[in-house]
Amino acid sequence: MLEAHALWTDKERFLGEAASGHAIVTDAGSEKSANSPVELVLIALCACTASDVVGILRKKREPFTSLDVHATAERADTFPKIFTEIRLVYRVTGKVTPKAMEDAVRLSKEKYCSVSAMLEKSARIDFEIEYAE
């Protein structure tokens, strides 16, 4: 079981901490002194799928040198303003075969990324892959 809590500090800022002992500040207000909770969800999606892809490429012994996952999201106009569309761009550098990269992204999306699986309940998630040398 995962556990977490958020402690109000001031204004619209909170200190969130998980059972792992790691903490993060969030700011849901207009000051933007930290990421908003919704931004953290998008960051979590990028990190979750990137972690999957890196692990799969390593297992396949693909010689990648970097991976950057960028997300853009559309939100509903009315509350609770959930994500309705998300676009992921995977930018991989190195001599990775396109098939290996496509397989890794597909496996992350369809099997491994729990953040993606949760978000797909309300949002369409599309992706593209960019290759750089």
Q: What is the mean pLDDT of each run of 10 residues along the chain (133 residues)?
A: 96 97 96 96 98 98 98 98 98 97 98 98 98 88
Predicted pLDDT at 133: 74
pLDDT at 106: 98
CATH architecture classification, 1-34: Single Sheet (2.20)
User: What is the distance between the alpha carbons of residues 127 and 131, in angstroms, rounded to a whole number?
Assistant: 13
Q: CA-CA distance, 87 to 49, in Å (whole number)?
A: 13
Per the CB < 8 A criterion, the answer to whether 132 and 106 are in contact is: no
CA distances from 5 to 17, 18, 80, 117 (A): 6, 7, 21, 23
Of 12, 26, 1, 107, which is closest to residue 59 (Cα–Cα)?
107
Q: Which CATH class is domain 37-132?
A: alpha beta
User: How far, CA to CA in Å, does 100 sit from each of 29, 52, 106?
Assistant: 42, 13, 10
Q: Locate CATH 3.30.300.20 in the chain.
A: 37-132
Give the model's pLDDT for residue 34: 98
Contact indicator for 73, 83 with CB cutoff of 8 Å: yes
